[in-house]
């Protein structure tokens, strides 16, 4: 597709001169950030907003904000951002839409993830139906709000104010302007200790210093209706960490991020084969996962002894806690990690002994399965019921162990490309009859997922003597080539980031 602004004359026809000038000023930066398809969506969005008739400022905000949003969370979110702005047109004033677009880069930067940004747009759609008068003052303070709250916290804070001041519009405006005492009290209640976006680069450098390799990380948001976040998890070679960590028992949020990231990285480094879930009950799965956590941590501590202290500070269970199966799991987890921890329970001592005896075989996760199955059988003698949904390890830095069971053979190229989708266009050479009988659209754009190529010219109207090549054809171009490029902002190489046409 074209990369020159003048090639989009049809899309720009209805824009006023100030908007065209702004596009010319922003075009160089936009072409460095957006692909050809992204540029097309960028200009279509400008044209659609221009046709709303809400003034030039709305279009100018779109022109300025969209490339910044794409840089932070990806260009695939631009159509959804435009749809949200267009949907607001019948529900609020142009000034509110302008503010929404102007603050979109702030939200994208603070959230740092495409899924979270999409959830943010959905939250705005919900809030404008509940408290339309509160939207503008909230957006004016968005940077301060997202500097203290996760997306879930922002949603709970906003919806509380919307419901509490549903009919008192003056109080509603005071609340969303952060003027009222209630607003400050709710803000304090929902405030999280450390946000992922504030420490992501430091954690990335920390992991690189430990393992001499890069790990891609993404934030994940907890349940909107509760203050409980998701546990860390590993999926698609990405480390998914909670979007915020509260300080816990003297351990800061930053330390919890270090502990969680180092634990997940230890799984990636030390897990070399899958574990089968066949013929295993929930208690066996939980104990095998616990032993596997201990195994990968023990191997990491052999290389980096300081990790033992980092992880041990997150285990606060005591020998007196024995009310549930989860308490016993926590006690065993601490016993396997901390040699100074004393626990007289025979089952915990048995687990510690089995794990120590298996030290020569720690390189294989088969020992985790063997020890876990043995301990699960012996735990039945305690007659303590196990509830999978509640009896989980309480250490907040440990992941949910889905990686232990879903692991696939490590693919270096897939790992390097994790988080970056590289769509490729397919070209097929077809026969005349296949072209005539089965083609969906002979006039598809150059960005179509599949292009059919006919070896000879096709004459749709023989009496006119003109082929499709004469009517609609363009000079063929070679397939695009994709190259990696170093990103100085995140200090990582972005695979397939540059496209040469």
**Beta strands 450-454 and 481-487, pairing class:** unpaired
Compare 4 and 67 and report the one with higher pLDDT. Answer: 67
pLDDT of 387 > 60? The answer is: yes
**pLDDT tens digits for range 277-298:** 888 899 999 999 999 999 999 9
pLDDT of 463 > 80? The answer is: no
Compare 426 and 142 and report the one with higher pLDDT. Answer: 142
Count how many Cα atoms sit within 13 Å of the Cα of residue 54 in the half-sphere of its side chain: 23
Per the CB < 8 A criterion, the answer to whether 110 and 147 are in contact is yes
Helix (H, G, I), strand (E, B) or coil at 237: coil
Per the CB < 8 A criterion, the answer to whether 34 and 43 are in contact is no
CA–CA separation, 25 and 1 (whole Å): 21
Instruction: Identify the pLDDT of residue 412.
Output: 54
Mean pLDDT of the chain: 83
Q: Would you give the distance in Å from CA 490 to the centre of its chain?
A: 16
DSSP string, 265-277: HHHHHH--S----
Per the CB < 8 A criterion, the answer to whether 283 and 387 are in contact is no
Instruction: Identify the pLDDT of residue 212.
Output: 87
Instruction: Identify the pLDDT of residue 426.
Output: 61
pLDDT of 171 > 50? The answer is: yes
Instruction: Identify the pLDDT of residue 1.
Output: 45
Helix (H, G, I), strand (E, B) or coil at 492: strand
Instruction: Identify the pLDDT of residue 360.
Output: 93
Instruction: Identify the pLDDT of residue 245.
Output: 86
Lowest mean pLDDT among 82-96, 120-134, 226-240, 340-354: 226-240
CA angle 152, 153, 154 (to 5 degrees): 90
Sign of CA dihedral 429, 435, 441, 443: positive
Please give the model's pTM, rounded to 2 decimal places: 0.65
- The full 3-state SS of 473-491, as one line of letters, equals CCCCCCCCEEEEEEECCCC
Per the CB < 8 A criterion, the answer to whether 67 and 75 are in contact is no
CA–CA separation, 35 and 277 (whole Å): 43
The residue ranges of every structural domain in the chain are 5-193, 197-404, 426-500
Compare 408 and 335 and report the one with higher pLDDT. Answer: 335
Tokens of 380: 């039945």
DSSP string, 388-427: TTT-----TTS---HHHHH-----HHHHHTTT------EE
Q: How distant, in Å, are the alpha carbons of 52, 100, 165, 207 from that of 93?
A: 12, 11, 21, 47
Instruction: Identify the pLDDT of residue 419.
Output: 47
Residue 62 pLDDT class (50, 70, 90 cuts): very high
Residue 163 pLDDT class (50, 70, 90 cuts): confident
Instruction: Identify the pLDDT of residue 104.
Output: 95
Q: Averaged over 390-405, what is the pLDDT?
A: 90
**pLDDT tens digits for range 420-437:** 444 455 666 766 666 666
Rounded (10°) CA dihedral 99, 106, 111, 200: 180
Instruction: Identify the pLDDT of residue 420.
Output: 47
The closest of 297, 381, 317, 306 to 347, measured between CA atoms, is 381
Indicate the helix (H) or strand (E) that contains 139. Answer: helix 132-140
Tokens of 337: 């990690």
CA–CA separation, 162 and 171 (whole Å): 10
Residue 196 pLDDT class (50, 70, 90 cuts): confident
Instruction: Identify the pLDDT of residue 417.
Output: 53
Tokens of 296: 């990968």
């Amino acid at each position: 597709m074209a990369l020159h602004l003048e090639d989009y004359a049809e899309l720009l026809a209805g824009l006023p001169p100030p908007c065209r000038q702004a596009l010319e000023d922003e075009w160089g930066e936009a072409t460095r950030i957006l692909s050809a398809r992204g540029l097309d969506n960028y200009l279509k969005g400008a044209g659609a907003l221009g046709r709303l008739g809400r003034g030039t400022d709305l279009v100018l905000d779109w022109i300025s904000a969209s490339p910044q949003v794409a840089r932070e969370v990806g260009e695939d979110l631009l159509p959804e951002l435009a749809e949200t702005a267009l949907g607001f047109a019948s529900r609020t004033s142009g000034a509110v839409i302008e503010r929404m677009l102007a603050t979109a880069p702030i939200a994208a930067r603070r959230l740092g993830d495409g899924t979270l940004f999409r959830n943010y747009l959905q939250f705005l759609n919900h809030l404008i139906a509940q408290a339309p008068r509160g939207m503008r003052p909230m957006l004016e303070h968005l940077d301060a709000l997202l500097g203290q709250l996760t997306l879930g916290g922002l949603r709970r804070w906003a919806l509380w104010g919307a419901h509490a001041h549903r009919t008192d519009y003056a109080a509603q405006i005071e609340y969303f302007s952060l003027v009222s005492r209630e607003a400050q009290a709710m803000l304090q209640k929902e405030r999280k200790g450390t946000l992922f976006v504030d420490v992501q680069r430091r954690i990335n450098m920390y992991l690189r210093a430990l393992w001499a390799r890069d790990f891609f990380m993404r934030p994940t948001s907890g349940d909107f209706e509760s203050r409980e976040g998701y546990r860390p998890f590993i999926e698609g070679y990405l480390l998914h960490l909670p979007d915020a960590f509260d300080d816990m028992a003297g351990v800061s949020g930053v330390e919890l991020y270090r502990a969680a990231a180092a634990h997940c990285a230890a799984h990636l480094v030390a897990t070399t084969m899958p574990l089968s879930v066949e013929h295993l009950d929930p208690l066996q799965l939980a104990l095998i996962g616990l032993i596997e956590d201990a195994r990968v941590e023990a191997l990491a501590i052999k290389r980096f002894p300081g990790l033992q202290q980092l992880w041990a500070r997150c285990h606060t269970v005591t020998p007196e806690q024995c009310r549930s199966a989860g308490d016993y799991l926590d006690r065993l987890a601490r016993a396997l990690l901390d040699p100074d921890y004393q626990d007289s329970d025979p089952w915990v001592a048995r687990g510690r002994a089995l794990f120590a005896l298996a030290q020569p075989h720690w390189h294989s996760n088969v020992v985790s399965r063997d020890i876990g199955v043995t301990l699960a059988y012996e735990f039945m003698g305690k007659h303590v019921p196990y509830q999978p949904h509640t009896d989980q390890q309480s250490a907040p830095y440990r992941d949910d162990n889905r990686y232990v069971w879903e692991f696939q053979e490590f693919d270096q190229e897939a790992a390097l490309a994790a988080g970056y989708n590289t769509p490729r266009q397919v070209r097929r050479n077809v026969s005349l009859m296949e072209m005539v009988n089965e083609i969906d659209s002979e006039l598809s754009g150059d960005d179509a997922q599949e292009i059919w190529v006919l070896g000879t010219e096709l004459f749709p109207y023989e009496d006119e003597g003109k082929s499709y090549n004469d009517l609609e054809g363009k000079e063929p171009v070679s397939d695009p080539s994709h190259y990696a490029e170093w990103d100085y902002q995140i200090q990582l190489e972005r695979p397939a980031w540059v496209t040469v046409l």
